[in-house]
Amino acid sequence: MQFNAIEKQESTARPCSELLAEFEKRQKEKEIKPEGVKLKFYGIELKDIYNITPPFFVKERLVIAARVENREDEIASEVHFFESTGDINWKKINITPLNLQDPFVVSIDDQIIVGGIEVFPPLPDSPNDSITYHTVFYKGENLDTLQIFAVGPEKMKDIRIIKLKNGRIGVFTRPQGGENNGGEIGYVEIDRLEDLNKPEIILGAKIIRDQFAAREWGGVNQLQELDGGRIGIVGHIACFDEKKMKHYYGMSFVFDPKANIASPIKIIATRENFPEGEAKKSGLEDVIFVGGIAQDASDKQWYLYAGLSDVESGRIPIEYPF
């Protein structure tokens, strides 16, 4: 991606329909349509396993974290860890699961940091019968020593962090409501991990404007620091169609924190890149929730990992998006 071509314009946000057409055009020109595979999980029966992280190493074990739940009970969702037994096969690790949804993992200062969404059922007197949630962060030297160290602001998902070369910690946020509509992306830097507990800092993150068209939204799922202090983002962009059906796509862009400008979003994966399958409910048939990308050590191929229609998990080979 040629980042030096970025220019600050009045409005650079383009709708999903245009981004999708560009993605399909790129596939046609290259005469390649990435074809994904579903991952297989062992050790848990009769539950949906989805919204996975990319594989990561823990003490020489190749591991994936995944959201696990009964089809009809999202509140009781758990995050379990699975160890690779070869190719697309993953076996459950016998450690206590975390009571979270939609896990993410990053390594900072020799600590494993696992985050996810903690969800609370509606209160008996709640007028809107609405659930509440927040992002929770755990850290430890190993998966069985993880301890909570930070909790994000109420009703904010998709908080992601990265250790920068300057020693600070970059934080990407996802405020919703008001001028932020269904969800924009904000950025702020902190000095210590514990600063994630300060809602005034997280809520004060500067919005990266003009990334999403009106009535569309998105968020960050994975971060990579690039040269020159730039940050590569892998995330999701979403919209509703006229039938109120959700469409979630994998996307990427590059962000320059010094100038607070971003390259245009591009779609890098869609549900059609994966085998057909069930959906948790009607309206989620065209949904992928991206965990991130990882390079396979054996063939050096980059793969994108994602949850499929809130039921299953898969991966597809992709070109490195940055």
CATH classification at residue 15: 2.115.10.20
The sheet carrying 186-190 orders its strands as 160-163, 169-173, 186-190, 206-207
Q: What pLDDT is recorded for position 129? A: 62
Q: Say whether pLDDT at 127 is over 70.
A: no
Q: Say what the pTM is.
A: 0.93
Q: How far apart are the C-alpha atoms of 49 and 51, rounded to whole Å?
A: 7
Q: Which two tokens stand for residue 271?
A: 């549900």
Q: Under a CB-based contact definition with an 8 Å cutoff, are residues 22 and 14 in contact?
A: no
Q: How confident is the model at residue 9 (pLDDT cuts 50, 70, 90)?
A: very low
Would you list the DSSP string of 203-216?
A: HTPEE--SSS-TT-
For residue 106, the number of C-alpha atoms closer than 13 Å in the C-beta half-sphere is 22
Q: How far is CA 85 from the centre of its chain?
A: 24
Among residues 71, 59, 282, which one has the least CA distance to residue 81?
Answer: 59
The domain in which residue 266 lies consists of: 3-122+131-318
Q: How confident is the model at residue 128 (pLDDT cuts 50, 70, 90)?
A: low
Q: How confident is the model at residue 77 (pLDDT cuts 50, 70, 90)?
A: very high
Q: How confident is the model at residue 180 (pLDDT cuts 50, 70, 90)?
A: confident
Residue 181, Cβ density class (10 Å: 0-12 exposed, 13-18 middle, ≥19 buried): middle
Q: Taking the alpha carbons of 159, 163, 166, 167 in that order, is the dihedral positive or negative?
A: positive
Question: 10 versus 315: which is more confidently predicted?
Answer: 315
Q: What pLDDT is recorded for position 2? A: 40
- How does pLDDT run across 271-289, given as a tens digit for each residue? 999 999 999 999 999 999 9
Q: How far apart are the C-alpha atoms of 131 and 173, rounded to whole Å?
A: 20
Please tell me the total count of domains within the chain: 1
For residue 154, the number of C-alpha atoms closer than 13 Å in the C-beta half-sphere is 4
Lowest mean pLDDT among 33-47, 112-126, 200-214: 112-126
By residue count, the chain amounts to 322
As a whole-number percent, the residues of the chain with pLDDT over 90 amount to: 80
Q: How confident is the model at residue 11 (pLDDT cuts 50, 70, 90)?
A: low
